[in-house]
Structure 1
Amino acid sequence: MMNCCGLLNPEKQPVPLKSIEVQLEVKDHVATVVSTLIYENKEDKPIEAVFVFPLPGDAAVCHFSAKIGQTEIVAQVKEKQEAREEYDDALSSGQQAFLLEESEQSPDIFSLKVGSLPPGESASIRLEYVIELAVEADDGLRFCLPAVLNPRYQPQGSEGASVQVTSVPASQVPYTLSFSARVSSPRPISKVESSCSLDPLQYLNTEQTQATVKLAAGHKFDRDVELLIYYKDAHQPTAVVEAGQASAKPGTLMGDPVVMLSLYPEFPQAVMSSLASCGEFVFLLDRSGSMDCPTDNSEQQETRIGSARDTLLLLLKSLPMGCYFNIYSFGSTYKHIFPKSVEYSEKTMEEALKKVGEMTADLGGTEILQPLKHIYSQPCIPNQPRQLFVFTDGEVWNTKEITSLVKNNSAFHRCFSFGIGEGASSALINGLAKEGGGHAQFITGTERMQPKVMQSLRFALQPAVQDISVTWDLPKGVSVTVLSPPISAIFQGQRSLVYAQLTGQSSEAAEGCVTVKYNLAGHPSQNQLTFNLKPAEDTGLTVHRLGGRSLIRCLEMEEKEDGGKPDEGVKKRVVELSVQSGVSSAYTAFIAVNKDNSEPIQGPLMRRNVPTPMFYSMMQCAMPMAGPGLPGMAMACAMPGPQMRLKSCAMPSPLMLNLCSAVTTADAIMSCDMSCDEPAEFGKFLEKVEDPDLTMPKQPRRDPLLELVSLQKASGCWLLDPALAAVLGKKSKKVEKAKPSAVNQEVWATILALMWLHGFKVDAKEEWELLAMKAVSWLRAQKAPCVTECIEAGNTLLGCKVQKDALGL
């Protein structure tokens, strides 16, 4: 047996990556991230280390360097094939070389190669990127450091060779992560929260506009590192003008000032008070095997598919009467509940809910492209704007193909996307919403999916903003070149970012003005922002790089020639911009070669794959066993590929066959990681399997809120029956006896349900607010007598103090 020392990967080979240190600097709503990766070769031969890892899909990678001993080599951005050839030439001549490149299929996957690291040598790799921070439903700014890269599904026969990912369960990652953040803003910092354990927030000044925070020691790589940063008065429009690079030629992107506008359009209250009562709502649900995993690694955590089912219940109950809807689900194939979208009624709602309740994560892989094509092939319903809701854990390779399809159909619908669980592709989730004129949400850790989805439904019910235009009023001699794609969607209170290059000269006191005009529910509206053209102090080139990244992404999304090959003119322009701005793209790579190394490195070069943390560890993707079995028996998902494969199982084959016959694929990526080498241990295992007294644990009682929601009718009312009484915690006879005599049963039941929501579930109001509005509309239509008497009787029955005004009656 080979005697290995140091860190080992899944193939029992040494792992040269020792640690990752991440420093985050947040200025207002833009972040700069510096990652330092420490490599060490403890073997007796030179090695090449290959590390495939995730980054945020909209990050602008702007610096890559390597330090060997006292020698620092700063990488250059070059056309990708040229960079690859230079890297190969360097290795073949015995030189040290470093290559960083973005995946051509998905912009949130990067590959880092550390070549010709001699025995006993160490290398420090510095990687820097800048990124905009997304605004969450509760006004928090979200930063996510992707730590988890699950194997991504690639459809059979799809074009482009995907990068092979070496993954291990999060608990087995052989390197450490340290993370610290510094936050500064013109406005006070209210708080910083995280899905991971943090050390206490430390304020650096009395105004509380600067603070630092660190990740607590012992991060297990079992989740992405997510920060939520809260400022006071976060919804203020802002403008940052950044000076150009002194060494760059005026008239170029890097030589001119660039402005970043952060706009928060405000809609008239009269429009916001009347949400749409029409639309075609199409829900597309991921049923691939990985949806059977929990969103978090805590015990008894609800699975992704279970949370999605509960969310669909809320959505269906909250839809307005008179709209149309359909539900699709997908894995390796796709299904739909109705052949085409149907009108929303009690009958169609109940039929859909029955089928939703039967949905499991049993459809194999993650083929999202085909169901999208089918949805787009269906003719739109006149006067029913199409709203598409996509729920997925986002583990696919063909991201650009999918987002390109959404963009090509953006004139006919709005797309709202939801990334579920650790490792969801930010490039896919953000790309779907951005190209579809909708809104993206991420559900990680112990977060509930329902509040975020209901916020998106409220956005979908807002009137579609049409005829959006951005006009500039600048001093004479100053012209503007917009770097961002045209604004395609505006939602109340949500941020729109615009980047623009400013060419020409003006006096220091000069001001510019930008006006966003649009048509809202038939009424012309506009919002203005006036800003100073004098560049801000000490901003570096962050805004330039984000603006360059925005323009590069726009060009990459342009139409491609027949056959799927990129347009050569567009590709040339992207390469020019990428090289000029020093920002990564699909067609370029960072290359660094240590030419100071006078002595060629001798000996055969050994390749070492650095494993990436994977969320699907043992006992997380719980699969039900046939027969009595072991409760919560699971198989670890560790092998990429389109087919299910089983690996390295030491059990006798008959038992293995019985166990594996019960296992469904997780995105068609499975391996059995159970090692029962010791006879005694295997005997104990058999005893457990054959123990007739071993039964599955009882299912926890369903959330009373969801129970109440499930009882609501499509019209908005509730029936007075034992099921409703049980949710209210009362006996049926007592509920019926408390009813005022002049009121019918449905009115009484509906008022009680509303009072229970307001009295006992006010903390979850964002989840039930829309269906409560529907109930109130139904009550008003009944013109029911004695509403005040009903509320008094209801307060006595339920033991609460709900006021009539609170119900909206």
Structure 2
Amino acid sequence: MDCCGLLTAQKEPVPLKSIEVELEVKDHVATLVSTLNYENKEDKPIEAVFVFPLPRDAAVCHFSAKIGQTEIVAEVKEKQQAREEYDDALSSGQQAFLLEESEESPDIFSLSVGSLPPGESASIRLEYVTELAVQADDGLRFCLPAVLNPRYQPQGSGGSEGASVQVTSVPASLVPYSLSFSARVSSPRPVSKVESNCSLDPLQYLNTEQTQATVKLAAGHKFDRDVELLIYYKDAHQPTAVVEAGQASAKPGTLMGDPVVMLSLYPELPQSVMSSLSSCGEFVFLMDRSGSMSSCLNNSESHQTRIGSARDTLLLLLKSLPMGCYFNIYSFGTSYEHIFPKSVVYKQKTMEEALKKVEVMEANLGGTEILEPLQHIYSQPCIPSQPRQLFVFTDGAVFNTKEVINLVKENSGSHRCFSFGIGEGASSALINGMAKEGGGHAQFITGTDRMQPKVMQSLRFALQPAVVDISVTWDLPKEVSVTVLSPPITALFQGQRSLVYGQLTGQSSEAAEGCVTVEYSLAGHPSQTQLRFSLNPGEDTGLTVHRLGARTLIHSLEMEEREHTGQGDGGVKEKVVELSVQSGVSSSFTAFVAVNKGNSESIQGPLVRRNVPTACHCYQLGLFHPMCLAGSSLKTDFSNVVYCAQIDRIAPKCLAGSSRKKAVKTKGFFSGLSKKFGAFGRRQKPQVIMAQQIEVLASPSYDFGTFSCEETEGTMLQQPCRDTLLQLVSLQEASGCWPLDPALAVVLGKSREEVETSKPASVNQEVWATILALIWLHGFKMDAKEEWELLAMKAVSWLRAQKAPCVAECVEAGNKLLGSNVQKEVLGL
């Protein structure tokens, strides 16, 4: 076929030409309008299907299509009804459009553009609103997902009936459509800065107060990675309330007809209590060791792998735990492992045993099956007076996201869940959902982020006393009542926002005020935060707050429906459908459908399906999709293979090239092939496998086993040299002290003799070594203070317990030895 226009990896035309995105951020609420421009350059009508990611909490609230001068606005309908209308329209030769949420994961949508005639163009307009999450450094994070890593499906799992969406993927560098992106930011407080993982044009302020600004992507950006914006305001932690007027055309008493209030609460927790970290708890770390964790953490020059960074992070975590707590480490892939049969007391012996096993952890456990290890963890009885804190690390995305989140919610009363999404393409639905339902905090590690600061921030949250007995009380005029749309607040953290939505029913005067009081108990100390607000609707915000409130209520009802599945409660689904249709906000039970009924002429000719490819990172794929690799004939062409070094499993028919006679060079081996072609032991040099051998990959029945990334023989692949901070941390004992070890002198850049002879005579070796370590941290590693602060606090507590004499003399001698000037008070001594 003589193809024209944009082509996929399999030489099929791509009807999607470009995506234009306009983002408007008002304080912490984002409204995104995306225009997808399609053009059919073929000689027959096509159906273009595009599967793409959206933020988990996005409320999709508008979907329309423009063909020529005709605009068709889609309606929200029950999903099966919408699918039938779409199919009926196509079968009768009408143009039709369908947008629906995946039944497995609320952050995947499928857009179908049906019966686009030859030579015709269409513009699809998609709009959604979402809340922006607060990061550990107080920045608000917006992410426009581009990378959609196909969800790993556990072996033997068929998924729910009709639920599977076919994801067509190409390597991120081969995405055949362009992106233009601009953002407008406004807030009552000045905009300090906007940062991104992509190149931006300079921030342009629109007023002298710097409360409004615009920014856009630099020219030449390809939509080959997630677009992440971090927005910083001055004095961001201010409680606010926004009251939005109801829709004039909607019936009073309904959600869309009544005013809706959005409360943004930042409870100030007593500093005296927050500074006293807990010395108890059961800390369970669940680490992803699927094949994709072998890939690089980010695009920086360090080339550190995700599993390597995870090992370093576990080192910091283990060194920062309080003596006497309990801990365990689980890791998972296709199967799962644990270091101890059950959680053990944290002490020097158990810490050393755990670290020995952490040091040899590799990304060699295959796929991403997280449900089974979670079930095992939750089956373990909780330890009295040791609150369970679960830390989950994964770079993947799973097929059964909703099932995983539901499991976390079922066990939310017995633990807090802190989740970390590593790298682009990690499912926001999975990471945010686990933290939200588990009363914890979610973090995403992307771009050039280091994993350690974000994880240590969450550990600090976990070590703080748990806020309990949280209640929200409304004080409103007697003629006004409120229906709360949000689930109860289950977790409060210092500096973290809590959002509450409420539907206000009744009439009030313009001067009327309302008051909300949040009461809670922290370490036995009752506290409260109050927010007074005007009941008079503010400036016109459209229906943004209503739609976010509706999406919040829909999420809660969907979770309730899953809990009652099979128990005869069919009314919840009907409530979701009714609310979704009424508010115009998508749900898992509804879809947007638009039919061009004004087109009198039916479209002739057989309809050809064209799957629009989505960006993927091949090394992250759970199931390696055939479309990922370019080429032609599988059976005869094997050279020039695109090699994907880190994959969870590989599917048949994914290799292509040009010449059977040539060899295929690989950096690693598939462990399942070793039985067929001899033992490929670890630590061997890169192999050359002839094409005839790889033909086995074409057999659908072949069991590929798991993949392990091999290293070169003799020299091996050079691992990044562990930095001096981690070397120092690795020498600390569980109690918090450092031994006077020759390795400590190396880290300090001194000889063993220099360190020993500088020690004041009346001080023992551990006290001297510990003070030296603290001086070095404060003197030379302040840029990484977030990473070592907790273990330094433990060291200071140990020193105080020793009641060592001559501390001032030690600090003076240490400063002289290290060439620093750190005061004793700065060390906390």
Smaller-chain TM-score range?
over 0.9
Letter in 2 for 1:22: V
1:197 lines up with 2:187 in the alignment: no
Paired residue secondary structure (2:179): strand
Decide which of 426, 429, 442 is 1:427's aligned counterpart. Answer: 429
- 2: distance between equivalents of 1:448 and 1:66? 42
Asked whether the equivalents of residues 253 and 505 of structure 2 are also in contact (C-alpha less than 8 Å), the reply is yes
Identify the residue that residue 20 of structure 2 maps to in structure 1: 21
Q: Per the alignment, in what secondary structure is the counterpart of residue 558 of structure 1?
A: helix
Map of 1:164 onto structure 2: 166
Percent identity between matched residues is 79
Letter in structure 2 aligned against 1:747: V
Partners of 1:329 and 1:409 in 2: CA distance: 20
Other structure's SS at 1:752 match: helix
Shift of 1:465: 1.2
State the SS of the aligned residue for 2:618.
Answer: coil
Name the SS of the counterpart of 2:406 in structure 1.
helix
For 2:669 and 2:663, locate their aligned partners in 1 and report how far apart those are by CA, in whole Å. Answer: 10
Distance change (3 Å), C-alpha of 1:779 and 1:801: same
Residue 122 of structure 2 aligns to which amino acid in structure 1? A
Instruction: Please tell me whether the aligned partners of residues 265 and 492 of structure 1 are also in contact (alpha carbons under 8 angstroms).
Output: yes
Kindly indicate whether the alpha-carbon contact (under 8 Å) linking 2:304 and 2:720 is maintained by their aligned counterparts in 1.
no
Q: Deviation at 1:12?
A: 1.3
User: Which residue of 2 is the match for residue 452 of structure 1?
Assistant: 454
Contact 1:650/1:675 (<8 A) preserved: no
Cα distance, 1:202 vs structure 2: 0.2
User: Counterpart amino acid of 1:585?
Assistant: S
Contact 1:437 1:489 (8 Å CA) reproduced: yes
Question: Aligned residue for 2:118?
Answer: 119
- Whether the aligned pair in 1 keeps the contact of 2:297 and 2:306 (CA below 8 Å) is yes
How do 1:733-772 residues align onto structure 2 when only pairs under 5 Å count?
733-772=753-792
Give the distance between the partners of 1:618 and 1:635, measured in 2 at CA.
13
Q: Give 1:83's aligned residue.
A: 82
Provide the residue aligned with 2:707 in structure 1. Answer: none
Decide whether aligned partners of structure 1 residues 664 and 801 sit closer, same or farther in structure 2, where only a CA change above 3 A counts. farther
Matches of 2:590 and 2:572, distance apart in 1? 13
Matches within 5 A, 1:598-609: 598-609=600-611
CA drift at 1:404: 0.4
Residues 212-254 of structure 1 deviation map (CA, whole Å, 9 limit, x = unaligned): 0001122233321010111111000000000000000010000
Residues 664 and 808 of structure 1, relative CA distance in 2, 3 Å threshold = farther
Is 1:778 the equivalent of 2:780? Answer: no
Which position in structure 2 is the counterpart of 1:625? none
8 Å CA contact 1:64–1:74 kept in 2: the answer is: yes
Matched, 1:799 2:819: yes
The 3 A distance-change label for structure 1 pair 410 and 618 is: closer
Alignment of 1:304-323 (within 5 A): 304-323=306-325
| C-alpha distance in structure 1 between counterparts of 2:538 and 2:164, whole Å | 42
1:556-595 correspondence to structure 2 within 5 Å: 556-558=558-560, 560=562, 567-595=569-597
Structure 1 residue aligned with 2:679:
none
Q: For residue 392 of structure 2, what is the aligned residue in structure 1?
A: 390
Q: Which amino acid counterpart does residue 357 of structure 2 have in structure 1?
A: K
Residue segments in structure 1 that go unaligned for 5+ positions in a row: 622-632, 666-673, 678-691
> Which of 608, 631, 656 matches 1:648?
656
What TM-score results when the alignment is normalised by the length of structure 1?
0.93
Structure 2 counterpart of 1:97, one-letter code: A
Offset at residue 659 of structure 1 (A) = 6.8
**8 A Cα contact 1:154 1:642, kept in partner:** no
Q: Paired residue for 1:132?
A: 131
- Name the CA shift for 1:637/1:612 in 2 (closer, same or farther; >3 Å): farther
Matched to 1:208, the amino acid is Q
Output the CA distance in 1 between the equivalents of 2:186 and 2:438: 33
CA distance in 2, matches of 1:573, 1:106: 20
- Tell me what 1:5 maps to: 4
Aligned equivalent of 1:525: 527
Aligned CA distance change for structure 1 residues 8 and 654 (closer, same or farther; 3 Å): closer
For 2:251 and 2:324, the matched residues in 1 are separated by: 59
Instruction: Look up the equivalent residue of 1:599 and give its one-letter code.
Output: E
| Contact residue 639 and residue 645 of structure 1 kept, 8 A | no
Structure 2 match to 1:47: 46
Who is 2:703 aligned against? none
Counterpart residue number, 1:68 = 67
- Equivalent position amino acid for 1:317 in 2: K
Is contact 2:291-2:648 (8 Å) kept?
Answer: no
Structure 2 partner of 1:475: 477
The CA distance in 1 between the partners of 2:646 and 2:330, in whole Å, is 28
- The offset of 1:647, in angstroms, is 2.4
Residues 255, 304 of structure 1: CA spacing in aligned structure 2 closer, same or farther, 3 A cutoff?
Answer: same
State the shift of 1:664 in Å: 8.7
d(CA) in 1 for partners of 2:815 and 2:353? Answer: 35
The aligned residue for residue 701 of structure 1 is 721
Give RMSD over aligned pairs: 2.4
Contact 2:58–2:129, Cα closer than 8 Å, also in 1: yes
Q: Kindly provide the amino acid, as one letter, of the partner of residue 82 in structure 1.
A: Q
Q: CA deviation at 1:635?
A: 2.4
Q: How far apart, in 2, do the equivalents of 1:784 and 1:634 lie?
A: 62
- Alpha-carbon shift at residue 374 of structure 1 (Å): 0.2
Q: How does 1:411-426 map to 2 (within 5 A)?
A: 411-426=413-428
Counterpart of 2:397 in structure 1: which amino acid?
A: E
Distance in 2 separating the partners of 1:762 and 1:658: 42
SS of structure 1 residue aligned to 2:243: strand
> Cα distance, 1:641 vs. partner?
7.5
Match of 2:628 in 1: none
Residues 284 and 391 in structure 1, CA contact (< 8 A), matched pair in contact too = yes
Q: Which secondary structure state, in structure 2, belongs to the residue aligned with residue 390 of structure 1? A: strand
Instruction: Provide the residue aligned with 1:629 in structure 2.
Output: none
Match of 2:407 in 1: 405
Provide the residue aligned with 1:37 in structure 2: 36
Deviation at 1:657, TM superposition (A): 9.5
Shift of 1:467: 1.2
Superposed counterparts of 1:637-676, under 5 Å: 646-650=654-658, 652=660, 655-656=663-664, 661-662=669-670
Cα pair distance change 1:479/1:30, threshold 3 Å: same
Matches within 5 A, 1:373-384: 373-384=375-386
Structure 1 letter corresponding to 2:522: L
- Cα distance 1:392–1:93, how it changes in 2: closer, same or farther (>3 A)? same
Task: Give, in whole Å, the separation in 2 of the partners of 1:287 and 1:696.
Answer: 21
- TM-aligned CA deviation for residue 616 of structure 1: 2.7
Give the 5 Å matches for 1:171-320. 171-320=173-322
Matched, 1:732 2:732: no
Q: Note the alpha carbon deviations across 1:434-453, whole angstroms, 9 max, x for none.
A: 00000000000110011110
One-letter amino acid of the counterpart of residue 807, structure 1: L
Q: Residues 305-344 of structure 1: matches in 2 within 5 Å?
A: 305-344=307-346
Residue 637 of structure 2 corresponds to which residue in structure 1?
A: none
Q: Is the Cα–Cα contact under 8 Å of residues 390 and 417 in structure 1 kept in the other structure? A: yes
Using the TM superposition, give the Cα deviation of residue 638 of structure 1 relative to its aligned residue in structure 2, in angstroms.
11
Per-residue deviation at 1:675?
Answer: 14
Mark the CA change 1:339 to 1:640 in structure 2 (over 3 Å): closer, same or farther: closer
Is the Cα–Cα contact under 8 Å of residues 618 and 647 in structure 2 kept in the other structure? no
* Contact 1:223-1:445 at 8 Å conserved across structures: no
CA distance in structure 1 between the aligned counterparts of 2:266 and 2:447, rounded to whole angstroms: 29
3-state SS of paired residue (2:483):
strand
After the TM superposition, list the runs of 4 or more consecutive aligned residues in structure 1 that deviate by more than 3 angstroms: 297-300, 559-567, 637-646, 649-665, 674-677, 692-700
Cα distance between partner residues in 1 of 2:813 and 2:41: 77
Aligned partners of 1:512 and 1:791: how far apart in 2? Answer: 56
Q: Which moved more, 1:695-704 or 1:102-111?
A: 695-704
Q: Deviations over 1:265-314 (max 9, x none)?
A: 11112211211100000000001111111232445421111111110100
Secondary structure of residue in 1 paired with 2:560:
coil
- CA 1:739–1:644: 2 relative to 1, 3 Å: farther
| Alpha-carbon distance change, 248 to 602 in structure 1, aligned in 2, over 3 angstroms | same
Q: Is the 8 A contact 1:651 1:676 kept in 2?
A: no
Q: TM-score if structure 2 supplies the norm length?
A: 0.90
Query: Structure 1 residues 564, 426: CA separation in 2 closer, same or farther (over 3 Å shift)?
Result: farther
Letter in 2 for 1:145: L
